[in-house]
Amino acid sequence: MIVEIGSWKGKSTVCLGLGSQAGNGVPVYAIDPHADYRFGDFKTNVERAGIAELVRPIASLSQPAADTFDQPIALLFVDGSHEYDLVLEDFEKWVPKVVDGGWVAFHDTTWTAGPRKVVAQAVYRSRRFKDARFVVGSTTVARKVLHNTFADRARNRYVLGVKTAFWLGSSALKNQRRLLPEPVERLGRRVLKAIQ
């Protein structure tokens, strides 16, 4: 199973659904209050992408939804509330349902304090994750394991260091209202990929 927390109009749902369709065709549970005024857009986008039969919307906040969800999760994507306490609650309630060897992905973990703090303490510094990395500048992904090794922990800490340096550097540029030229940004993205 794939679980998505926070669907909005379905952009990430479509990415997850297309990934599932190309792979094992597992269902994607899309958890969001799915407010009436945008659920129409969500449905249209999911149908247009040809993945409607894989997507199971759950109209709820993610924290209470965890109490009744009892299926093993292979990939958990978290992009719901960005408040520290609620992201932490998502972590505490949903990550135990992810199978060992499964993946977690948390969106907005660079410039947004809530998710950044949760992944720093509960993913990068944890004994339960390996292969932690951040992609496209802000999404932290990691594989859940029963116990990570010393080498896994050292690697996760190293990536956290790279991520923190990236965050501080990019925030300093933002504060000076400076934009990097596109080729420099592209090169930066490549370097980030190569060093983590």
Ligand X SMILES: C[S@@+](CC[C@H](N)C(=O)[O-])C[C@H]1O[C@@H](n2cnc3c(N)ncnc32)[C@H](O)[C@@H]1O
Q: Please list the residues that pair with 82 across neighbouring strands.
A: none
Does residue number 57 form part of the binding site for ligand X (CB under 6 A)? no
Q: Which residue is nearest to ligand X (CB)?
A: 6
Q: In the complex with ligand X, which residue's Cβ is closer, 138 or 148?
A: 138
Q: In the complex with ligand X, which residue's Cβ is closer, 11 or 193?
A: 11
Site string for ligand X, 21-50 (x = CB under 6 A): ----------xxx-----------------
Q: In the complex with ligand X, which residue's Cβ is closer, 71 or 149?
A: 71
> Which range in 75-83, 123-131, 137-145, 167-175 contacts ligand X by CB under 6 A?
75-83
Burial of 27 (0-12, 13-18, 19+ CB in 10 A): middle
3-state secondary structure of 158: helix
The total of other beta-carbon atoms located within 10 Å of residue 180's CB is: 12
Rounded Cα gap, residues 168 and 56, in angstroms: 39
Size of the site for ligand X (CB under 6 A): 16
Rounded Cα gap, residues 135 and 87, in angstroms: 19
